[in-house]
Amino acid sequence: MSLLVVDNVHAYYGNIHALKGISINIEQGEIVCLIGSNGAGKTTTLRTIAGLMRPRGGSVLLNGEDVYSYPPHHIVKMGIAMVPEGRGVFAKMTVRENLEMGAFHRNDRNGIRQDIDYVFNLFPRLQERQSQLAGTMSGGEQQMLAMARALMSRPSVLLMDEPSMGLAPVLVDLIFDTIRDINANGTTILLVEQNAHMALQIAARGYVLQTGAIVLSGSADELRQDPTVQKAYLGID
């Protein structure tokens, strides 16, 4: 049984049919990417999985259990956490307070302390700035904090929405190296990323979305060799 199964999901913004029967399977330990142009439905897919949007059809199963029976905060407790596009840190809270908010549903104090140490090891810059207000940090530092905050919930599936957006190339490399490390430590990742080159370098498999529908899927190698993907997303004529 797959860890996460998105089965024939339809979602709407008012009368706009945003997701048109998409289906995605993700196995334990994988990095799977979603690629597509602006407006293709990538963020909507993540928001629907996280329970922030309610579909009008289909289901999302985590370990065989339908997450739509629960509100979003309980879906986090079940094991799905999201790193949103634009970071979404709590600007008037310190770095450490943001991390503690990521563990809002937990009461295992020793475990929380251990996980703070874990994310500080992943992102040493956050440890240096743990007393700094999040809103005063650079974009790259805020991206690190958003990732670290999501990890504080101990997710089995981490949803990541455009982690490289607006970052300098050297920080993009750092963020993607850290995504690999997070995955190597046992977290399954569903990655939305417009930088298809980087996404297909670290993902095992991928799906291509166009106007709310999946039009291609396969291994990362297969997608890199596909002429449509090369022309539309990799800049290869």
The pLDDT assigned to 159 comes to 98
Assigned domain for 172 exists: no
How do strand 80-83 and strand 65-66 relate by DSSP bridges? unpaired
Kindly report the CATH number assigned to the domain that includes residue 191. Answer: 3.40.50.300
Separation between Cα atoms, residue 149 and residue 155, nearest integer Å = 11
Give mean pLDDT, residues 184-207: 95
Tokens of 18: 């945003």
Separation between Cα atoms, residue 119 and residue 144, nearest integer Å = 9
Assigned domain for 93 exists: no
In terms of pLDDT, which residue wins out, 107 or 24?
24
Contact 91, 107 (CB under 8 A): no
**pLDDT 10s digits, 7-63:** 999 999 999 999 999 999 999 999 999 999 989 999 999 999 999 999 999 999 999
Give mean pLDDT, residues 117-127: 96
Assigned domain for 109 exists: no
Q: Residue 44: which of 160, 214, 212 has the closest Cα?
A: 212
Query: Is the pLDDT reported for residue 201 higher than 80?
Result: yes
Mean pLDDT of the chain: 95
In terms of pLDDT, which residue wins out, 1 or 183?
183
Q: Residue 188: which of 59, 15, 5 has the closest Cα?
A: 5
* Residue 21: domain span: 1-79+157-163+187-237
Assigned domain for 174 exists: no
DSSP-derived 3-state class of residue 237: coil
pLDDT category at 125 given cuts 50, 70, 90 is very high
Query: Is the pLDDT reported for residue 237 higher than 80?
Result: no
Query: Is the pLDDT reported for residue 236 higher than 90?
Result: no
The pLDDT assigned to 1 comes to 75
Query: Is the pLDDT reported for residue 183 higher than 80?
Result: yes
Contact 145, 98 (CB under 8 A): yes
How do strand 31-35 and strand 205-210 relate by DSSP bridges? parallel
Give mean pLDDT, residues 209-219: 96
Assigned domain for 148 exists: no
Structural domain total, the chain? 1
**Residues near 136 by Cβ (< 8 Å), separated by ≥ 6?**
none
Separation between Cα atoms, residue 70 and residue 173, nearest integer Å = 36
Separation between Cα atoms, residue 113 and residue 75, nearest integer Å = 23
**Within 10 Å of residue 57's Cβ, how many Cβ atoms?**
13
Q: Residue 80: which of 27, 182, 158 has the closest Cα?
A: 158
Contact 196, 169 (CB under 8 A): no
The pLDDT assigned to 87 comes to 81
Assigned domain for 175 exists: no
Query: Is the pLDDT reported for residue 196 higher than 80?
Result: yes
Assigned domain for 195 exists: yes
Separation between Cα atoms, residue 124 and residue 128, nearest integer Å = 7
Give mean pLDDT, residues 169-191: 95
Q: Is 199 exposed, middle or buried (0-12, 13-18, 19+ CB in 10 A)?
A: buried
The pLDDT assigned to 235 comes to 85
